[in-house]
Chain A
Amino acid sequence: MNSNLAAGLAMIGAIGPGIGLGIGFSKAMEALGRNPEASGTIFVPYILGLALTEAIGIYCFVVSLILIFTK
């Protein structure tokens, strides 16, 4: 019971990466709108940035999974 509650609380940490991913995506789209030819150049740093931001959310997720599924 307590560990399920803790797992839920751990997922609060996913708020930050969510906002960060939104900012990253909106900036990438903005850049693409200004300069459509740059899509090839933007793509790789964009994917890397999203991956590194998303990793923080994944940490929260892994922590909460461990709290739920390990006894």
Chain B
Amino acid sequence: MPLAASESLIHVSIKAETLFTIGPLHFTNSMVGALLASAILLVASWWFLRRAAMVPNRFQTAFELPIEWLAGIVAGSTSRWRSYVALVIGLFLMILIANWLGLLPGVGTIGLVRESEGGKELVPFVRPASADLNFTLGLAIITFVVFVWWGVRLHGPLGYLKELAGEPRYMAPLMFPIHLISELSRLVSLSMRLFGNVFAGEVLLATMLALTTAVLFVLPLAFFIPAIFLGLELLFGFVQALVFALLTMAYITLAIAERQGGHAHDESAAAAGPDGAPAPAHA
């Protein structure tokens, strides 16, 4: 059996805890995290747009540089990049803020103490939204709907099914289920990757904090060890947000480029192969 929550310094719960209930809606602490991330994004963009100038000052440049860099990558994918660049950058910023929110002090440590069957249990007020499978699955469903919609829009519903059936027609009974599963597995892998990484980060930080608290009597400088892992999580949060956004871009690129008869790389600097493996890019 796992450690009882009351005895362990490590607070780990694989599902988000319910803070309060409104009718049938369970308001969980990861919803607080998601709303907080949205609020930060909204306020930041409003504040930023209000004082944006044509000739940017140094502060504005610092904000625009990373976004322009990402937009540059998206612009290299297909000629229709303008219709999905906002989605890719929006996903990136949302996930980035949701990931980094979990690293702030107080998140995951300040909360209600609630009686449970195993003893007393801490229910934090805020949980980083991407450490909840509901949030990541929701984002993955958005991506899934968008790239299937692109496929259906460019091929027509019948053409999309033909695309799933594969090229030699007599292989269709075998290839159709395989392609169908590979489409659906993108949904699973997108959501599981983000959830697994962020949740693993949370567990890692909690474990390191508990370990260093345990040895603090012997090694007073051990306090600095969790800080190293915090820095690592800062990097992972960024990389995972980038990965989600770039995979969204790659899936949409594939859905668009398949129509051009396999010449997917004419104008794309970055496209993944049909099985998800990165294809060699021609400049």
Hey, what's the 0/1 contact readout for A41-71 against B, CB within 8 Å counting as 1?
A: 1001111111110110011011001101111
**Which residue of the partner chain A has the closest CB to B14?**
A69
How many residue pairs at the A-B interface have CB separations less than 8 Å? 68
Q: Which residues of A contact B (CB under 8 A)?
A: 1, 4, 41, 44-52, 54-55, 58-59, 61-62, 65-66, 68-71
Cβ-defined contact, B279 with A45, below 8 A: yes
Contact, CB under 8 Å: A45 / B281 = yes
A69 touches B12 (CB 8 A): yes
Instruction: Please determine whether B278 and A61 come into contact, CB atoms closer than 8 angstroms.
Output: no
Check A52/B276 contact, CB under 8 A, given A1-B1, A47-B239, A69-B13.
yes
Chain B interface residues toward A at CB < 8 A: 1-2, 12-14, 73, 189, 192-193, 195-197, 199-200, 203, 239, 242-243, 246-247, 250, 269-270, 272, 276-281, 283
Query: A52-B276, A58-B196, A61-B200 known; A47 and B12 CB under 8 Å?
Result: no
* B195 contact set on A, CB distance < 8 A: 62
In the A-B complex, the 8 residue pairs with the smallest Cβ-Cβ separation, listed nearest first, are A45-B278, A58-B196, A44-B270, A51-B243, A49-B278, A69-B14, A55-B193, A55-B189
- Please state if A65 and B283 are interface contacts (CB–CB under 8 Å): no
Contact of A58 among B14, B197, B246, B247 (CB under 8 A): B197
In the bound complex, residues from chain B placing their C-beta under 8 Å from that of A52 are 189, 272, 276-277
Chain A nearest CB from B233 CB (Å) reads 15
Which applies to chain A's interface (DSSP): helix, strand, loop or mixed?
A: helix
Task: Collect the chain B residues with CB atoms within 8 Å of residue A49's CB.
Answer: 277-278
Let me know if B13 and A65 touch, CB within 8 A. no
Residue contact A58 to B277, C-beta cutoff 8 Å:
no
15 A-B interface contacts by CB (under 8 A): A44-B246, A44-B269, A44-B270, A44-B278, A45-B279, A48-B247, A51-B243, A51-B247, A58-B196, A61-B196, A62-B192, A62-B196, A69-B2, A69-B12, A69-B13
Q: For residue B246, which residues in chain A have a CB less than 8 angstroms away from its CB?
A: 44, 47-48, 51
Q: Given contacts A44-B269, A58-B200, A59-B192, could you give 8 more A-B pairs where the C-beta distance is less than 8 Å?
A: A41-B281, A45-B278, A46-B278, A51-B193, A52-B277, A55-B189, A69-B2, A69-B13
In the assembled complex, the CB of B21 is this many whole angstroms from the nearest CB of chain A, namely 22
Q: Return chain B residues, CB-CB under 8 Å to A55.
A: 189, 192-193
Chain B residues lying within 8 Å of A44, measured Cβ to Cβ, are: 73, 246, 269-270, 278, 281
Residues of B within 8 A of A69 (CB): 2, 12-14
Please state if B2 and A68 are interface contacts (CB–CB under 8 Å).
Answer: yes
With a CB–CB cut-off of 8 A, which chain A residues contact B283?
41
Q: For residue B275, give the distance in angstroms from its CB to the closest CB of chain A.
A: 9
Which chain B residues border A4 with CB–CB below 8 Å? 2
A28 to B2, CA, bound (A): 41
CB contacts (< 8 Å) of A62 on chain B: these are 192, 195-196
Task: Report how far A55 CA is from B191 CA in the complex, Å.
Answer: 10
The smallest C-beta distance from B273 to any residue of chain A, in angstroms, reads 10
A4 to B2, CA, bound (A): 8
